[in-house]
Amino acid sequence: MAAIFRNFRTARSSLRHIPRQLPPYAADRDLRRPYGSSFPLSEDRKQLESRLVSLLDGRHGLPRLKQVHAHLYRRGLDQCCYVLTKLVRALTELGVPVGSYQRLVFGQVQHPNPFLYTALIRGYSAQGPFRESIGLYASMREEGVGPVSFTFTALLKACGAALDLDLGRQVHAQTMLIGGFCSDLYVGNTLIGMYVSCGDLGSGRKVFDEMLHRDVISWTTLIVAYTKTGDMASAGDLFDGLPVKDMVAWTAMVTGFAQNAKPRDALQFFKRMQDARVETDEVTLSGVISACAQLGAAKYAQWVRDVAEKSGLGPTENVVVGSAMVDMYSKCGNIEDAYTIFKEMKERNVYTYSSMILGFAIHGLAQAAMQLFHEMVETETKPNKVTFIGVLVACSHGGMVDQGKEVFSSMEKRYGVVPDGDHYACMVDILGRAGHLNEALKLTETMPVKPHGGVWGALLGACRIHRNPDIAQIAASHLFELEPHAIGNYMVLCNIFALAGRWDDVSNVRKLMRGKGLKKNPGCSWFESKKGEIHEFFAGDTKHPRSSEINGVLVDLLERLKGHGYQQILSSVAYDVSENEKKRILMGHSEKLALAFGLMDSSANCPIRIMKNLRICEDCHSFMCGVSHIIGREIIVRDNMRFHHFKGGTCSCGNFW
């Protein structure tokens, strides 16, 4: 590395020997001459060169390129930079390592011109080692050969790929030192890209602001970079300033919002994109479909599907859109529609199968998930890591311990998929939920990879179901180290201690949380009204305009349920407060508020779909079971773990969640 910098300094000190303007070889007709030659070319020679260049195409394969190369030698063109540049490019396109054949070709040329140098530099910047391209640039300058704009774009790409900000800045300085390259549009765009890749958004923005001309690439490079850091406000400002907003810029915004957990903004932007009549492609659609899945909003899902179908990218035709829709419908609680799309798709790949298997699994349809997995294997679609997550989740939620063990042990042996931390987390979950807590602990302590938070989290969750505060303490101690700020772990431990009546331990955990400045994430549920509006409810919320009506419906439901023997489960409140206070807290849980509003707002007979950010508590679960029975309607609740389909007094999870 030091040598490169040394070369760089030498190159810099020799700058004064280099003409600031490009010599006339840059003109197209002169490219055909060997560098430095001043003899005019005969017509025959020109024709020969053109013919050879047309044959130098990577698509013809390596043997053909070698043939042309040999012919080129025989015809005395072994120093012709014009033809050799084309040869080097074709070899690189074919994936031949730059350091082998191309370097040899280059080495035999006495006076390589800037284009031949640049072809080699581009090769290194695409394949690596990236710093080799800087070394070549340094020797190019030492030889007194002036760069062209593509030399800089290649060098900057290499710096971006190597994440070498320092070197990138030096190349930036070179573009300014050598006449006018920094005002070149392509160089400017690549400079932005380099700074963005190296994480220096400020400098990227500065280059952007100082550019004389900008095109859509300059804007979108920056917009995408802001969206990636989650700074959607700045991305929005940039987007608004865009003179012409094309599909790429719109898509960057839509997917940016979706990936930054702002699904509503993603949908809003997509709506604006539709109003502006901008074309969509499968990337835009996948982004907006994932936003629908996050929101669990079925009405939007239908609208997006209509748009996709109108653009000829409907789920039946397009496997990417189709797979995303299968995933979305199942996450929106509509497993029937997910399966209908799945069946209608003309082509299915591993993502389609995996989405459907996971969909069945989180809806508690374990047998359907297993059956589809076997069908998939029969169609010779090779399962991947995600497929096995789906199958194992199915086993876990279905309480199928033996099948889970069988699948887990066959992963590597039969399908060549090495289990990673996530698969171990599923296996611990399977054992833990079924009550085999010691076996789950042993697996966690002896697994070949270091268990991540997900594995210990699965064990902690199982300890809550089976009320085992001792193993819970072991799991929690690891979790507090691995994820010191994940509030959920502290809450689960509080809950487990509260269920065991260990109030001193509860208050110790709370003290620990306060010490770290952690605040409980408020429970939040939401419901999509008939008009397609999303109504949000927080625990204990009285802000909704129809709050008193909601309260009235809940009081009424509670009375009717009591007549059927329902009793509030006070242990679901992890606070050491009076019984009456516990009863009041329980009635304010967000999913109950959403349910009451859902009953007021929906048409009779259609299922009520509620989404929740946290896990549903035992009391709300039993309340939902009871209400589904007395009103004779299906209630579907998506919590952060899975779907619960409450029907006729029972839940699809079999009280096992």
What are the tokens at 496? 């487990």
Determine the Cα–Cα distance for residues 152 and 191; give it in Å rounded to an integer: 9
Indicate which single residue of 178, 285, 301, 653 sits in contact with Zn ion (rule: CB under 5 A): 653
Least Å distance, CB 612 to Zn ion, is 9
Tell me whether residue 65 or residue 395 sits nearer to Zn ion (CB atom). 395
* Under 8 Å between Cβ of 646 and 636: yes
Nearer to Zn ion, 319 or 630 (CB): 630
Strand bridging mode 635-638 / 608-612:
parallel
> What does the alpha-carbon distance between residue 301 and residue 332 come to, in Å, rounded to a whole number?
8
The rounded distance, in Å, linking the Cα atoms of 611 and 618 is 16
**CB 637 to Zn ion: min, Å:** 7
In whole angstroms, how close is the CB of 365 to Zn ion at the nearest point?
Answer: 13
CB of 528 to Zn ion, least distance (A): 20
Nearer to Zn ion, 89 or 615 (CB): 615
Which residue's CB is nearer to Zn ion, number 190 or number 568?
568
Residue 397 binds Zn ion, judged by CB under 5 A: no
Provide the H-helix boundaries in 113-184: 114-127, 130-142, 149-161, 165-177
How far apart CA 255 and CA 225 sit, in angstroms, is: 12
Provide the minimum distance between the beta carbon of 348 and Zn ion in the complex, in angstroms, as a whole number: 30
Closest CB to Zn ion among residues 254, 332: 332
- Return the number of the residue (156 or 574) whose C-beta is nearest Zn ion: 574
Sheet holding 635-638, edge to edge: 534-538, 524-528, 608-612, 635-638, 643-647, 650-651
* Of residues 174 and 334, the one with the C-beta less far from Zn ion: 334
Alpha-helical (H) ranges within 296-449 are 298-310, 319-331, 335-344, 350-362, 366-378, 385-397, 401-415, 421-433, 437-446
With tokens 């497993």, the residue in question is 335
Site for Zn ion in 123-152 (CB under 5 A): none
**Least distance from Zn ion to the Cβ atom of residue 617, Å:** 3
Site for Zn ion in 578-597 (CB under 5 A): 589
CB of 457 to Zn ion, least distance (A): 20
Nearest distance in Å: CB 603, Zn ion: 24
With a CB cutoff of 8 Å and minimum separation 6, the contacts of 318 are 282, 308
| CB of residue 542 to Zn ion, shortest distance in Å | 17
Q: What does the alpha-carbon distance between residue 61 and residue 94 come to, in Å, rounded to a whole number?
A: 7
Q: How far is the CB of 653 from Zn ion (least distance, A)?
A: 3
Least CB distance to Zn ion at residue 381 (A): 31
CA distance 300 to 285: 12
- Which residue lies nearer to Zn ion by CB, 550 or 651? 651
Nearer to Zn ion, 410 or 655 (CB): 655
Q: What are phi and psi of 474, to 5 degrees?
A: -65, -50
**Stretch 74-113: interaction string toward Zn ion, x if CB under 5 A:** ----------------------------------------
* Six token digits for residue 216: 């859509």
Q: Are strands 635-638 and 643-647 parallel, antiparallel or unpaired?
A: antiparallel
Contact 451, 414 (CB under 8 A): no
- Picking from 629, 592, 627, 622, the residue whose alpha carbon sits closest to that of residue 610 is 592
What's the min distance (Å) between Cβ of 591 and Zn ion?
A: 6
Q: Which is nearer to Zn ion, 222 or 492 (CB)?
A: 492
Burial class for 636, CB neighbours closer than 10 Å (0-12, 13-18, 19+): buried
What is the footprint of Zn ion within residues 334-353 (CB under 5 A)? none
Q: According to the 3-state scheme, what is the secondary structure of 17-40?
A: HCCCCCCHHHCHHHHHCCCCCCCC
Rama region for 513: left / alpha / beta (φ>0; ψ in -120 to 50; rest): alpha
Q: Which is nearer to Zn ion, 313 or 653 (CB)?
A: 653
Nearer of residues 89 and 582 to Zn ion, judged by Cβ: 582
Show the binding pattern over residues 533-572: x = contacts Zn ion (CB under 5 A), - = does not: ----------------------------------------
Nearest to 353 by CA among 329, 333, 326: 326
In angstroms, the CA 574 to CA 140 distance is 71
Size of the site for Zn ion (CB under 5 A): 6
Of residues 464 and 644, the one with the C-beta less far from Zn ion: 644
8 A C-beta contact, residue 463 and residue 496: yes
Q: Is 511 helix (H, G, I), strand (E, B) or coil?
A: helix
Residue 480 beta carbon to Zn ion: minimum distance, rounded to whole angstroms: 25
Applying the rule CB under 5 A, the residues between 607 and 646 that interact with Zn ion are 617, 620, 644
Please pick, from the candidates 191, 289, 635, 651, the single residue that binds Zn ion as defined by CB under 5 A.
651
Residues that bind Zn ion (CB under 5 A): 589, 617, 620, 644, 651, 653
